[in-house]
Homo-oligomer: A and B are copies of this chain.
Amino acid sequence: MNDDIGQHIDEMIRQEDSGTRPSGQEAFDDLEPDQIALLLESLPLDAREHAWFQVPVESRADVLVAMRAEPRDSLLRLFDSEALDQLTSSLDAESLIELADSLPDEVVDIALARMDQRQRHYYEQSASYEDTQVGRYVDHELLILPHNSRVRDATRLLRRTVPEHTGHLWLINRTGHLAGAVPVTRLFSAREAQPLSELIDDEIEALNAGLDLKEATDRFELAAVPALPVVTDEGILLGRMTQSLALETLHEHYEAQLMATAGLDEEEDLFAPVMRSSRRRATWLGINLLTAFLASWAIGLFEGTLEQVVALAVLMPVVASMGGIAGSQTLTLIIRGLALGQITTSNVMPLLKKELSVGGLNGVLWAIVIGIVASIWFNSAAIGLVIGLAIVINIAAAALSGVLIPVLLERLKIDPALSGSVILTTVTDVVGFVAFLGLGTLVLL
């Protein structure tokens, strides 16, 4: 897959550079909408614009749905009213809900007005859930039967067009409540007149539409079924969530986590306009600057000491960096544990004890190594002693913070993956500098 895309990217950029613009729309015949979306996201803005007009008109809505919000917006800005008009005429409820935030309100209204009543109803239902909730992404293409149907009713229904991922038929009672799921494969060994209610798969547990999308993917890892039914609080069947959506959700979740560690948004455009990109990144740099100034302030407390023993200034990064690294190891382990639901009030203490022991051992080990190197470098056993002690203190503080910071953030409902690392580094910088320069003041002056 990736190689295909790579070749297309090179081809598009070559066209752009040479100024040749094929007028046809065959360029992407071999690609799925998801792949075209990825390809467009990989192109600089000019080339992206020209590539867009080579996307077959009938795939455009699907391609836009598959794109990340920001690069998608870069394309929607190119739409004149005629193009918007064409787009809205081809959207169903599920596509519109994905694009709604990127479209002007009046365009959404036009699209809604053009839908049939059922699609409009689906749209309003989905829109009543947050974009982190299962209910927003309900798939309405499923085969539903009254709960008192028989096998022959099911086989008759299955003779018509069958939606993708159809592994189950869904039974509802007269009030629309989910009454059970019947695996299609069970129909073969059943009698024509047998009630479907006798073929229900008891292991299918419905997802509440208010459930967090990420938690829903965990259910799929356990359940191993192509789709799960989605119901309201009252148990009314809204539709289903497919395992494919679970896969996509998991992908986006982790990508967002990796991006968040650098203060970036998952929807960020690889080729975002320079001004926009700069403005957004400036915030993260600004937050970091505050913590860096805090570290500087800690150092500033010991200006007098530094003036007399310049070796301390030279060795400062070693103390801060060993604390930062040791702390981020503990932090990462704890963040994973929290994400998996492995960490509870009762095992935080044993964990803290273990991490402090590991930190203690590594602290002593590296304190000896660094102490010896520093003693030789600056020809002073006292400097070796000072940095050794500072390393032990800072690595212990790092282990303590590595456990406690994410646990506290989680309790305050702040995502530790987002801010844990910034807070931790601030702690290890300040503790490291104060310990090192403080001890230096006591021992060396």
Report which A residues bind B (CB closer than 8 A). Answer: 1-3, 5-6, 9-10, 13-14, 32, 34-35, 38, 41-44, 155, 158-160, 162, 164-167, 183-186, 188-189, 215, 217-222, 224-226, 242-244, 246-248, 250-251, 254-255, 257-259, 261-264, 268, 270-272, 274-275, 277-278, 281-282, 284-286, 288-289, 291-293, 295-296, 299-300, 303, 306-307, 310-311, 313-318, 320-322, 325-326, 328-329, 331-333, 335-337, 340-347, 350-351, 354, 357-358, 361-362, 365-366, 369-370, 373, 429
Query: B346, A13: Cβ atoms under 8 Å?
Result: yes
The answer to whether A342 and B41 have CB atoms under 8 Å apart is yes
Residues of chain B with a CB closer than 8 A to A160's CB: 189
A262 to B183, CA, bound (A): 45
How many copies of this kind of chain does the complex include? 2
Decide: B362 and A332 in contact? CB cutoff 8 A.
no
Q: Is the CB of A42 within 8 A of B347?
A: yes
Identify the closest chain B residue to A217 (Cβ).
Answer: B247
Within the complex, the shortest CB–CB distance from A162 to chain B, in Å, comes to 4
Kindly list chain B residues whose C-beta atoms are within 8 Å of the C-beta of A274. Answer: 354, 357-358, 361
Min C-beta distance of A31 to chain B, whole Å: 10
Contacts A42-B347, A226-B243 given; does A289 touch B366 at CB 8 Å: yes
| A38 close to B247 (CB less than 8 A) | no
Minimum CB–CB distance from A430 to chain B (whole Å) comes to 10
Contact B9 A344 (CB under 8 A): yes
Find the B residue at minimum CB distance from A272: B354
Contact between B285 and A322 (Cβ–Cβ < 8 Å)? yes
Identify which of B42, B159, B248 contacts A221 (C-beta below 8 A): B248
Q: Are A292 and B307 in contact (CB under 8 A)?
A: no
Q: Which residues of chain B have C-beta atoms less than 8 A from A263's C-beta?
A: 325, 329
Contact A322 B289 (CB under 8 A): yes
Inter-chain pairs besides A254-B254, A288-B321, 4 sampled, C-beta below 8 Å: A165-B167, A254-B255, A262-B329, A295-B318
Q: Is the CB of B341 within 8 A of A314?
A: no
Chain B residues positioned under 8 Å from A300 (CB to CB): 314
Q: A3-B341, A259-B336 are in contact. Are A317 and B281 (CB under 8 A)?
A: no
Complex A-B, nearest 6 residue pairs according to Cβ-Cβ distance, in ascending order: A2-B341, A254-B254, A313-B313, A158-B188, A262-B332, A42-B342
Measured in the bound complex, the distance between the Cα atoms of B325 and A277 in whole Å is 15
Q: How far apart are A142's CB and chain B's nearest CB, in angstroms?
A: 12
**In the assembled complex, how far is the CB of residue A367 from the closest CB belonging to chain B, in whole angstroms?**
11
Q: Is the CB of A262 within 8 A of B10?
A: no
Quote the shortest CB–CB distance from A306 to chain B (angstroms): 5
Do B264 and A332 touch (CB < 8 A)? yes
Complex: chain B residue closest to A270, CB-CB: B337
Residue on B with the closest CB to A260? B332
| Inter-chain contact B329/A215, CB cutoff 8 Å | no
Point out the residue from B215, B248, B313 that lies within 8 Å of A316, measured CB to CB. B313
Instruction: Considering the complex, give the chain B residue whose CB is closest to the CB of A365.
Output: B282
Q: How far is the CA of A341 from the CA of B217 in the complex (A)?
A: 25
Shortest CB-to-CB span from A353 to chain B, Å, is: 9
Contacts of A246 in B (CB 8 A): 247
Q: Do B34 and A221 touch across chains, with their CB atoms under 8 A apart?
A: yes
Known: A270-B333, A340-B38. A285 touches B362 (CB 8 A): yes
Asked whether, in the complex, the Cβ of B289 is within 8 Å of the Cβ of A44, the reply is no
Select one of B254, B292, B313 contacting A258, CB under 8 A.
B254
Whether A278 contacts B321 by the Cβ 8 Å rule is no
User: Cβ of A341 and Cβ of B281 under 8 Å apart?
Assistant: no
Are B258 and A332 touching (Cβ within 8 A)? yes
CA distance A257 to B32 in the complex (A): 28
The smallest beta-carbon distance between A402 and chain B, in angstroms, is 10
